Structures are given as C-alpha cells and as structure tokens.
Amino acid sequence: MALLLSLLAAVSYGLSDFVGGVASKRVTPWTIALVGQLGGAVPFLVVGLLRGGSFGGEVVAWAALAGLGNGLGTAFLYRGLSSGRMGVVAPVSAVGAALVPIAVGLATGERPSTLVWLGILAAVPAIWLVAREPRSASSAEAGSGVLDGVVAGVGFGTLFSALAQVPEEAGLVPLALNQLVAAVVVVLVATALRAAWVPRRPAALLGVVSGCLGAAATGLFLVASRDGNLTVAAVITSLYPAFTVLLALSILRERVHPAQAVGLGLCAVTVVLVALG
C-alpha cells in the first residue's frame, strides 16, 4: 500500500508540475507558485477543521519546518525555471529531494532490504536522466543552476522529512499550515529578488489547479510514509519528473531524448525492485 500511495503521490506531483509549467508561460512562475500554495491550503484547512485533530507545539514546529522547505524548494525551482536553467535545476533538485529523506530515514533507524537498496541506487540516475534537458548551458548558467537545484532539493527533502514526523492523530490542519508557511516564503524570496508575484491576470487561477494537485500529492506522501517508511516513500515519490515528461510527451507531443528514455526505464526498474523488496 505504501508503494501504491507513493506512486500516486509521484503522479500527482508530476501532473502538478506539468500544469504549473504550462501556466507559467502565461503569468509569472512566482504568481503560480503563490496561488498554488494558497489554493492547496484551502482543502486541507476546510477538511481539517471539519474532521478535527489533536496536536501541540511540536507538530506545529514540524509543519512550519515542512512549509519552510516547501517554500524554499518551490522558490528556487521556479527561479531556475524563470531564468532558463531548468535543465540544471530540475535534476539536481529531484535527486536532492530523494537523498535528504534517505539520510534522515537511515539516521532514525530505517534499514531497507537489499532489493530496496538496489532500487534506490537505480532511482538516483533515473531521476537525473529524466529531469535533465539535452541542451547545454554556459558555465555561469550551469553553476548558478546547480546552486538553485541544491537549495531546492534540500528544501523538498526537508518537506518530505518533516512531514513524516506529523502523526496521524494531528489531522490535516498541519498540512494547511505547511502550505501557508510556504506561501509566505515564496513571497519573501520573490520580493528579495524583485520578481513580480502579485496575481493580476485570470490565468493565475491555473495555479489553484496545480496547487491542489500538489497538495493531494503531499497528503498521499504523508500517508505513505506512515504506512511504510520514509526512505521508500521519498524515493518513489521523487520519481515525479518521469510523469511530467510522460505528460509532455503525450499531450504536448514533445520528443523524449535518449537519456530521458534510459531514465524512464530505470524508473520502472526502481519501482519493481522496491515492490519486490
């Protein structure tokens, strides 16, 4: 069940990124990021208040830390997108999103089986190859892209690791807090970079779709990490770029370059090995 939920989270994150990428061509990426975070917070807040939950200061701290990671990850990923360095930022951030929870899981006592380890080893190059774009970048662009990617990867990895500490009895309100903190971080980073973030056009509403899909993925990941373990849930969820590529291939008729095809194959190998393990 944890594997299935993690795969569904990856699909939802992949679809969220696809919708967000399309929407970012109509309005600024920062606007989409902000509207997405706020839009994703609403269903969590409404359902969370209706269903209730029990949590204290420790859960609030974990949710706020997750929101900080979420906001930084989104902000620096979108900075890479807006400056044309996505081919560098995306693979670095996606690999980081997997490696940070793996380190946390191992530090907290998780011990994956041999097959799962083989799946993890296949996942790292798979994520890189799938997210990597074929066009080359200048040395300056590549260096800046790596920095953005590292910060984004640590951010998303922090999101996954912190959310895994939120207990089931806490309900959904902490997830809404995560989204709201992330929205504030996005605004602060955008303001510091003097980038436009205020929603001014109707097309910004597409961010709500992207945000709700991302929120659903976050919820699925949270349940998966509780049902299984953080290491497996994070690795499988971090395969989300594969689904973004598949959507671009099927809907936008984009071409898949040879390295991406190899990466997609390794993604399938990862899922099989983790399932068997």
> In the prediction, which pLDDT does 200 show?
85
**91 pLDDT exceeds 80?**
no
For the entire predicted model, the pTM comes to 0.84
The yes-or-no verdict on residue 65 having pLDDT over 90 is: yes
What integer pLDDT is reported at residue 128 of this predicted model?
79
Instruction: Output the pLDDT for position 86.
Output: 57
If one compares 97 and 41, the residue with the highest pLDDT of the two is 41
User: Would you say the C-alpha torsion 269, 149, 103, 187 has a positive or negative sign?
Assistant: negative
For the segment 1-20, the average pLDDT, to the nearest whole number, is 87
pLDDT at 162 over 90: yes
pLDDT at residue 82, as a whole number: 62
Task: State the Cα–Cα distance between residues 211 and 88, nearest whole angstrom.
Answer: 24
Q: What ranges do the domains of the chain cover?
A: 2-276
Residue % of the chain over a pLDDT of 90: 24
End-to-end CA distance of the chain: 13
Q: Identify the CA nearest to 174 among candidates 74, 49, 73.
A: 49
